[in-house]
Amino acid sequence: MRQDSTARASSRDRQTGAAARSPIASHTKAKDNRHAHSKDTRQNETAKQRRLNASQLDAVMTPGVRYTCVALAKQLNSSARQIKASLSQLVDAGTVRHVQEARIGIYWVPTHAEKRNFEEKRMARRQLLRHTLEGYDADLHRLQSLCMLVRRS
């Protein structure tokens, strides 16, 4: 009996064709298309956020202005985790400087004056370290004898 009713229903569907089912099917398809479209737009927006790479972040940052990860994330409508990863790449490359103040990381693109000042200090440190160490053994021996005097027996 069950097979017979199934066979009759399928033959009836074949006879009536898609015309009888079209209003319901088209409404369902339209609903699915809207849902798929909104899902696609959300995925595209998410993909745009993900595509924010280090070079784009470098282009957005103004030289000399200090930024935090959270401020950049709000400004660029992205997550702080993505911004921090891109900033880490820029810090490793040397295009962005980073200072940790308390629990907040401060990032900035150095200006030309800051770059020149940094290079001058670096060259001065290198010149100071060019000479050989002299008197190192005598200072070490003096420290050792001082420690022995203070030591309790």
Domain assignment present for residue 69? The answer is yes
Q: Does the residue 66 lie in any domain?
A: yes
User: What range does the domain containing 102 cover?
Assistant: 54-150
Q: Tokens 């319901």 identify what position?
A: 24
Q: Per-residue pLDDT for 5 more than 60?
A: no
pTM passes above 0.85: no
Q: Does residue 21 lie in a domain region?
A: no
Cα separation of 73 and 56, whole Å?
Answer: 13
- Beta bridge pairs of residue 109: 63
Backbone angles phi, psi at 108, to 5 degrees: -160, 155
153 versus 66: which is more confidently predicted? 66
Mean pLDDT, residues 71-90 taken together: 89
Q: Do the domain assignments include residue 47?
A: no
Residue 22 counted as domain residue? no
Q: Is 49 part of a structural domain of the chain? A: no
Where residue 107 sits, what CATH number does that domain have? 1.10.10.10
Mean confidence (pLDDT) of the chain: 76
Strand partners for 105: 100
For the chain, the domain total comes to: 1
